[in-house]
């Protein structure tokens, strides 16, 4: 028998990949939290902004390899946004931890990738990031944050990198 928390994560994954922002937000408690990159994003407004980032950056996610302990689920977490697809690095795989309050997500903690995964991604993304920083620093600067504007910057950077590659300057 599967855990109701794993079932909820399946619903969440599906909503994320459809970019159904309202459904994603509704799956979090009112004081829900996303922790990513050492930053904590708490409350409905910032949970919405994070999912707007995912929509604008065309991010897709997958959760698998679940371990349930009480109301906490640890799992493998994969995500890929438009720039990752343009670079062709296959996204990033790491770990995540979800804490539930009843049938809602209280906390989604995205753990940093292990060193081998970080090195793999950076080895593949390095040339693109270096070129984008040198040639489009204003677009790279807009990629800070966890909101729609930052997500739009990711998609714009992907388009710039694809155009560069098509020019044969790569």
The pLDDT, as a whole number, for residue 1 is: 53
The whole model's pTM is what? 0.93
Query: Considering only CA atoms, which of 96, 103, 105 is closest in space to residue 65?
Result: 96
Q: Is 48 in contact with 65 (CB distance < 8 Å)?
A: no
- What domain range is 16 assigned to? 4-167
CA distances from 34 to 38, 52, 99 (A): 10, 14, 10
Conformational region of residue 37, where left means phi above 0, alpha means psi within -120 to 50, and beta covers everything else: left
Structure tokens at 19: 């970019």
Q: What CATH number is given to the structural domain containing 76? A: 3.10.450.50
Query: CA 141, CA 111: separation in Å to the nearest integer?
Result: 24
Can you give the C-alpha Rg of the chain in angstroms?
A: 17
Phi-psi region of 144 (alpha: psi -120 to 50; beta: other; left: phi over 0): beta
Report how far residue 97's alpha carbon sits from residue 65's, in angstroms, rounded to the nearest whole number.
12
| Partners of 67 in beta bridges | 74
Q: What is the DSSP string of 93-137?
A: EEEEEEEEETTEEEEEEEPPPPHHHHHHHHHHHHHHHHHHHHH-H
From first to last of its 170 residues, what are the pLDDT tens digits of the chain? 579 999 999 999 999 999 999 999 999 999 999 999 889 999 999 999 999 999 999 999 999 999 999 999 999 999 999 999 999 999 999 999 999 999 999 999 999 999 999 999 999 999 999 999 999 999 999 998 899 999 999 999 999 999 999 987 54
- What total number of domains does the chain contain? 1
Residue linked to tokens 């079932």 = 7
Bridge pairing between strands 39-42 and 60-69: unpaired
């Amino acid at each position: 028998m599967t855990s109701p928390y794993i079932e909820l994560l399946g619903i969440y994954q599906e909503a994320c990949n459809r970019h159904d922002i309202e459904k994603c937000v509704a799956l979090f408690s009112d004081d829900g939290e996303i922790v990513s990159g050492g930053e904590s994003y708490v409350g409905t407004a910032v949970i919405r902004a994070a999912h707007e980032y995912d929509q604008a950056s065309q991010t897709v996610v997958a959760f698998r390899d679940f371990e349930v302990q009480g109301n906490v689920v640890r799992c493998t977490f994969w995500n890929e946004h438009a720039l990752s697809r343009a670079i062709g690095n296959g996204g990033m795989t790491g770990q995540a931890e979800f804490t539930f309050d009843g049938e809602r997500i209280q906390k989604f903690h995205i753990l940093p990738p292990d060193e081998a995964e970080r090195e793999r991604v950076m080895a593949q993304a390095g040339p693109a990031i270096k070129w984008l920083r040198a040639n489009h620093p204003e677009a790279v600067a807009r990629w800070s944050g966890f909101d729609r504007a930052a997500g739009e910057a990711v998609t714009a950077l992907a388009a710039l990198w694809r155009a560069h590659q098509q020019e044969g300057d790569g």
